[in-house]
Amino acid sequence: MRLNPLISSAALATLAFLYLPMLAVAVLSFNKTRYGLQWSGFTWDWYARLFSNPDILEAARNTFVLALVSTLIATVLGTLFAIALERYPWPRRSQGFLENLLYLPVVTPDIIFAVALVVAFGAFRAVSSLFEPGLFTMVLGHVTFQIAFVALTVRSRLKSLGHELDEAARDLYASYGYYVRRVLLPLLTPGIVAGAMLAFTLSLDDFVISFFTAGPTSQTLPLLIYASVRRGVTPEIHALSTLIFLVTVLLVLASERLTRR
């Protein structure tokens, strides 16, 4: 079937609109000129300065610690939630309520979610100082929206497996714990890994929730880029943005590949 020229042109124009600005940033990260858009030669100096900047290295450490810890927690909770929602015989109303609850973090605007977290942490702060703004509150904030994406990814994998394996395991007198460990989890591994990669990517790129839950010593790369841009965009920021974009693209492609497999 031949593609409609109008539709294909619109698709190409949309892709160009999305990715040409990122390509321009990547090109400028190799430009010798510190300010302005005029090309004056190729250089790796900005990447070298990027990796020798202590503030950027500290922000990178916070970013990856935050992404790794929140992803691990969200992957465990999201996987358990998906199994419980798909395999446990919930009453119809209860299942509908839980499904709506699962989609809520996905469709809720980040700013609303962030304000709700600030209010909640403010109430919890009266009970414990653990909820002072910092890396701990950022991890909690990220986990709250990551769980939904992990659960949706794992649940789609569960739906493709069907209930035949459950019935076969019961026919062979396997305990439910044995069935989960030796049959279900190995089959769910591609979905779990894909959900974890998606959660890691979302945490890596998040700005709004991090901005509202961060403390003075828990700056992440998106927050650093925002603060730097307000003072003027430098080639180091171009280089940093390019690296973050490349890591995100690689994780998304790996997640997509695992999901298809």
Can you read off the two tokens belonging to residue 91? 């009453």
Q: Which residues contact 133 (CB under 8 A, 6 or more apart)?
A: 121, 213, 214, 215, 216, 218
Q: How confident is the model at residue 54 (pLDDT cuts 50, 70, 90)?
A: confident
Which 3 state secondary structure label does DSSP give 216? coil
Q: Distance of CA 55 to CAs 11, 51, 226, 229, 248, Å?
A: 40, 10, 14, 15, 21
Task: Tell me the CATH number for domain 53-260.
Answer: 1.10.3720.10
Quote the mean pLDDT of the chain: 84
Q: For the whole prediction, is pTM greater than 0.85?
A: no
Domain residue extents for the chain: 53-260
Q: For residue range 4-43, list pLDDT tens digits in order.
A: 777 888 888 888 888 888 888 888 888 887 776 777 888 8
Helix-helix angle 54-87:135-161, to 10 degrees: 40
Query: What gap in Å lies between CA 1 and CA 46, rounded to an integer?
Result: 48
Of the chain, the percentage scoring pLDDT greater than 90 comes to 18
Phi, psi of 138, deg, nearest 5:
-65, -40
Q: How confident is the model at residue 258 (pLDDT cuts 50, 70, 90)?
A: low
230: left (phi over 0), alpha (psi -120 to 50) or beta: alpha
Measured between its terminal Cα atoms, the distance across the chain in Å is: 27
Q: For residue range 188-202, list pLDDT tens digits in order.
A: 888 888 889 889 989
